[in-house]
Amino acid sequence: MFEQLEFLLFYSATGLYLVAWVWHLRGWKLDSDAQTRIAVQIRWVGWFLHLLLMGLRWYRAGHVPLLTAFEFVTFFAMLVIGVFLLFAPRKRTGCWAYSCFRSGCC
């Protein structure tokens, strides 16, 4: 049962990342901030599913999900996407990092 849930989470997160990528391209082509914001929100949902996948993988395997090549690459992808989301440009506020926004530098 958990194996099927892992596959579902993996393919759902991957699908959302692809949809967000296409939405970003559309936003850049139309020069639309609203489209770009929607793409980032879609990516947040995908990242959350990715995070659930890594937690489930950790639970099932009984170790930190970094030992096999699949686990390492999947975990690294989650980190890269997470960093992108933290540093995604926010045109409305002019902030480039969530931490900057939280500290009040903007």
Task: Report domain extents, the chain.
Answer: 2-103
User: How would residue 93 be classed by pLDDT, with cut points 50, 70 and 90?
Assistant: very low
Residue 38 DSSP code: H
CA angle 74, 82, 93 (to 5 degrees): 160
Over range 15-41, report the average pLDDT: 89
Specify the long-range contacts of residues 91-95, CB closer than 8 Å, at least 24 apart: 91/33, 91/36, 92/33
On the question of pLDDT at 100 being above 60, the answer is no
pLDDT band at 102 (very low <50, low <70, confident <90, very high): low
Per-residue pLDDT at 98 exceeds 50 = no
pTM of the model: 0.78
Report the alpha-carbon distance of residue 24 to residue 72 in Å, rounded: 27
